[in-house]
Amino acid sequence: MMTEISLNVLDITENSVKAKATLIKITVEADTAKDRLTVTIDDNGCGMTPEQLSKVTDPFFTTRTTRKVGLGVPFFKQSAEMTGGTFDIRSEVGVGTVISASYVLSSIDRMPLGDMVSTMHQLIVMHQQCDFLYSYSYNDRRFTLDTREFRETLGDVPFDVPEVSRFIKDFLKENTEEVNAGQMII
Amino acid sequence: MKSLAELQAIRDKMQGQVGLRAESEAGTRVIVGMATCGIASGASPVLNALSEAVMTKNLKDISVVQTGCIGLCQYEPIVEVLEPGKEKVTYIKMNPEKAMEVVEKHLIGGTPIYDYTLQKAMK
């Protein structure tokens, strides 16, 4: 079991990277009026066949050969459903996969959102072959990060150069704080 | 607030520094296991601490990268250190504090910490 929602995002997005996605859209939306926290990971990777899709929430299904269990998707699903929320996964071969987990924000069983800044920073810096579109919102305040804009500005300077890596982390941190405006989702 | 203009300035500073990439690949590689097993046991704060240290201490020829599951889930978080011309060192059950010790004693000091290795656990 993961201890934070952000760790589920990190883990699930690794699947998109392995599926050779070139664009991964990650959305985190908190809506206090609807009492919902919705997390969506949308990729343009290789997708899954209907047969694979039907097995993906089974903990004893994995495409790995190093171990016999695959807990990533089951953990994510369980974390949302135990709050009274919902979980949805759609996939099509050659098109991509969309996974969405919706949590009841006020549920005592909802795990903390955790460190989304570090999660996004790690994903962006460690997987430079992919572009990321990250959107974070709290009620009507929102910010978006698009690595395609970074790439356009940077030319051939990679994201893992210390100065660039630091910029990306600070960019995420400052914008997240602005959106939270002191009302951060715990 | 950070802006793209700031990124442009970084780019201008970096341009002309050819072979950024090639250099980092010839140096030491620090590999963190980041599959479900690694993440669930706390690999993310470990990776975070390592890349922070490399950034703040300005360790030039060290790159922090990640890998999947190597089938030793019970020993996660696992950190492997690959130095050119030396045998691979596998650290097990890491946390950010132990990772910082590895940075100081092994990556900077040059001496692996035997107590944290897989080799010791297998003995």
Q: What is the pLDDT of residues A67-121, one digit of tens each?
A: 888 899 999 999 999 999 999 999 999 999 999 999 999 999 999 999 999 999 9
pLDDT at B22 over 60: no
Of A41-45, B9-13, B73-77, B116-120, the poorest mean pLDDT is in B9-13
CB contact under 8 A, B2 and A170: yes
pLDDT band at B90 (very low <50, low <70, confident <90, very high): very high
Residue A32, min C-alpha distance to chain B (Å): 26
pLDDT band at B19 (very low <50, low <70, confident <90, very high): low
Average pLDDT over every residue of B47-75: 91
Q: pLDDT tens for residues B101-119?
A: 999 999 999 999 999 999 9
Lookup: tokens for A90: 């759609």
Query: What pLDDT is stored for residue B26 in this prediction?
Result: 74
Average pLDDT over every residue of B62-72: 92
Which residues in chain A have their CB less than 8 angstroms from residue B1's CB?
174-175, 178
- Name which of B1, B36, B39 to mutate to probe chain A: the one with the most chain A Cβ atoms within 10 A of its Cβ: B36
Give the residue, B25 or B80, on which the prediction is more confident.
B80
CB contact under 8 A, A7 and B47: no
Give the residue, B8 or A184, on which the prediction is more confident.
B8
| Strand spans (E) along A11-157 | 23-31, 36-43, 86-92, 96-104, 131-138, 141-146
Note the residue count of chain B. Answer: 123
- Return the DSSP state at A1: -
Lookup: tokens for A167: 């910029």
CB contact under 8 A, B34 and A14: yes
**3-class secondary structure for chain B?**
CCCHHHHHHHHHHHCCCCCHHHHHHHCEEEEEECCHHHHHCCHHHHHHHHHHHHHHCCCCCEEEEEECCCCCHHHCCCEEEECCCCCCEEECCCCHHHHHHHHHHHHHCCCCCHHHEHHHHHC
**Burial class of A123 by CB neighbour count within 10 A (0 to 12, 13 to 18, 19+):** buried
- Write down the residue that tokens 């959107």 correspond to: A135
- CA-to-CA distance for B69 and B48, rounded, in angstroms? 18
Q: Which residues contact B116 (CB under 8 A, 6 or more apart)?
A: B91, B92, B93, B94, B98, B101, B102
Lookup: tokens for B68: 């999947």
Mean pLDDT by 10 residues, chain A (186 residues): 94 95 97 96 96 91 84 94 96 96 96 96 95 96 96 91 91 94 76
Average pLDDT over every residue of B70-95: 95
**Considering CB atoms only, which of B11, B39, B63 is closest to A11?**
B39
pLDDT at B18 over 80: no
Query: What pLDDT is stored for residue B58 in this prediction?
Result: 83
- Return the DSSP state at A112: P
Query: What pLDDT is stored for residue B21 in this prediction?
Result: 52
Query: What pLDDT is stored for residue B20 in this prediction?
Result: 54
**Burial class of A61 by CB neighbour count within 10 A (0 to 12, 13 to 18, 19+):** middle
Q: Which residues contact A61 (CB under 8 A, 6 or more apart)?
A: A55, A70
pLDDT at B15 over 80: no
Query: What pLDDT is stored for residue A146 in this prediction?
Result: 97
Which residues in chain B have their CB less than 8 angstroms from residue A153's CB?
4, 7-8, 11
Residue A185, min C-alpha distance to chain B (Å): 20
- Domains of chain B plus CATH, in order, are 20-122 (3.40.30.10)
Sign of CA dihedral A5, A85, A17, B14: negative
The residues on B that touch A, with CB distances below 8 Å, are: 1-2, 4, 6-8, 10-11, 13-15, 20-21, 24, 34-37, 39-40, 44-45, 47-48, 51, 54-55, 58, 63, 65-66, 68-71, 73
Average pLDDT over every residue of B52-78: 91
CB contact under 8 A, A167 and B6: yes
Query: What pLDDT is stored for residue B73 in this prediction?
Result: 94
When the pLDDT of each residue in chain B is averaged and rounded to a whole number, the result is: 90
Residue B90, min C-alpha distance to chain A (Å): 17
Q: Which residues contact B42 (CB under 8 A, 6 or more apart)?
A: B77, B94, B95
Lookup: tokens for A34: 């609807």
- CB neighbours of residue A143 within 10 Å: 17
**Considering CB atoms only, which of B34, B39, B58 is closest to A2?**
B39
pLDDT at B24 over 80: no
- Domains of chain A plus CATH, in order, are 5-179 (3.30.565.10)
